[in-house]
Amino acid sequence: MKEKAFIKTPLGIAKITGDENGISSVSILDTEEKESDVIPEHLQDCVYQLQEYFDGKRQSFSLTLNPEGTDFQKRVWQALTEIPFGKTTSYLQLSKKLGDVKAIRAVASANGKNPFWIIVPCHRVIGADGSLTGYAGGLWRKKWLLEHENPPAQQSLF
Which residues are annotated as catalytic? 122
d(CA 112, CA 109): 5
**One-letter identity of residue 137:** G
Which residue spans within 11-68 are E strands per DSSP?
12-19, 22-28
Please name the helix (run of DSSP H) or strand (run of DSSP E) that holds residue 77, with its range, or none: helix 71-80
CB 49 within 8 A of CB 62: yes
What is the sign of the dihedral through the CA atoms of 3, 81, 86 and 122?
Answer: negative
Q: Return phi, psi of residue 62, to 5°.
A: -130, 80
d(CA 100, CA 34): 43
